[in-house]
Amino acid sequence: MRMSFGLLFRTAKGRWMAKLSRQCSRGSIELFVPQSPPLDPEKVKEFQRFITLSKRLLVMTGAGISTESGIPDYRSEKVGLYARTDRRPIQHRDFVRSAPIRQWYWARNFVGWPHFSSHQPNPAHWALSNWERLGKLYWLVTQNVDALHTKAGSQRLTELHGCMHRVLCLDCGEQTPRRVLQERFEVLNPTWSAEAHGLAPDGDVFLTEEQVQSFRVPSCSRCGGPLKPDVVFFGDTVNPATVDFVHKRVKEADSLLVVGSSLQVYSGYKFILTAWEKKLPIAILNIGPTRSDDLASLKLDSRCGELLPLIDPR
Ligand SMILES: [Zn+2]
């Protein structure tokens, strides 16, 4: 499947405009959600029993919960980024040590931001936020950086890998909203225009070397240090205090549900091991195999946005 979105940027009355071709509005489900078998009523009943018996449920979500919002995951067969493209995530070490790599990263991120930040929660995010409101969900841990749980109103939430909607200064640690940085980019690059081909739905874009080299990147307005999205890039480690916090929540929980994660990333997988060692019942809702299928008492190969709203959390 060709993923070119024919993005064109122009300044009009001093504002940046994005023209996304019609492909963008095509059904996200068709584009990024792997095929799954029809819902099995017996499995749904079993899952309902699992949720009804849980009094302190910890839910861990991954990229699979956001594919129905139009954000592709990395690892799904046929529809994931690894399967469709040769793009690979940026490495933490490269970002920190190289100003040209940061410039390249931010130029693409600037172009992709209006699209990436416009994604909205889907019925799975809304269901989990509702479970929290009704006292069913004890804690929510997400590996996603798309802010969709926050947009759906979840509060008892740990974003294990940070969030793209925040920016962090690598020197002084100050956090600022990503939208403020977008305004600073616009001020610093008033004549910069780019015709970018192949905008990926995750906000990644392709630019020529020339375009990147003329892009100006602001630094921290407090100390002048380099700015980075407040996310854990590949090759970096999750803050130990955050890991410790989540381990405590897992130990306080009485059951664990994984939603939309293949658990290939170790930072998420180790919490499943903790739950398993504590003999907590584990359910996994994910299309396709996961690293922990053999630890789960219940495995469901269904779409998150189709199954979760069917469950009564009371
Ligand atoms: Zn700073």
Asked if residue 146 belongs to a known ligand binding site, the reply is yes
CA angle 125, 203, 37 (to 5 degrees): 45
Q: How many whole angstroms from 161 Cα to the centroid of ligand 1?
A: 21
Distance CA 53, CA 314 (A): 10
Q: How many whole angstroms from 154 Cα to the centroid of ligand 1?
A: 29
Is 188 in contact with 265 (CB distance < 8 Å)? no
Distance CA 293, CA 80 (A): 20
Distance CA 17, CA 305 (A): 32
- Mark the ranges of the chain whose per-residue pLDDT is less than 50: 1-26, 196
Q: How many whole angstroms from 233 Cα to the centroid of ligand 1?
A: 19
Asked if residue 64 belongs to a known ligand binding site, the reply is yes
Is 136 in contact with 311 (CB distance < 8 Å)? no
Q: How many whole angstroms from 15 Cα to the centroid of ligand 1?
A: 28
Q: Which two tokens stand for residue 191?
A: 């004549």
Is 57 in contact with 257 (CB distance < 8 Å)? yes
Asked if residue 122 belongs to a known ligand binding site, the reply is no
What pLDDT was estimated at residue 4?
A: 32
3-state secondary structure (DSSP) of residue 16: strand
What pLDDT was estimated at residue 74?
A: 67
Of residues 248, 44, 46, 34, the one with CA closest to residue 141 = 248
Distance CA 50, CA 121 (A): 24
Count the alpha carbons within 13 Å of 159 in the hemisphere toward its beta carbon: 18
Distance CA 158, CA 282 (A): 19
What pLDDT was estimated at residue 15?
A: 37
CA angle 255, 258, 264 (to 5 degrees): 130
What pLDDT was estimated at residue 71?
A: 85
What pLDDT was estimated at residue 43?
A: 94
Distance CA 68, CA 33 (A): 6
Torsion sign across C-alpha atoms 137, 247, 76, 289:
negative
What pLDDT was estimated at residue 115?
A: 84
Active-site residue 165, yes or no?
no
- Sheet hosting strand 195-196, strand order edge to edge: 15-19, 7-12, 195-196
Asked if residue 224 belongs to a known ligand binding site, the reply is no
Q: Are strands 282-285 and 137-142 parallel, antiparallel or unpaired?
A: unpaired
Asked if residue 77 belongs to a known ligand binding site, the reply is yes
> Structure pTM?
0.85
Q: How many whole angstroms from 266 Cα to the centroid of ligand 1?
A: 30
Distance CA 247, CA 258 (A): 15
Give the chain's radius of gyration (CA, Å): 20
Catalytic residue, candidates 115, 119, 125, 161: 161
Q: Which two tokens stand for residue 266?
A: 């170790």
Q: How many whole angstroms from 115 Cα to the centroid of ligand 1?
A: 27
What pLDDT was estimated at residue 294?
A: 93
Asked if residue 223 belongs to a known ligand binding site, the reply is yes
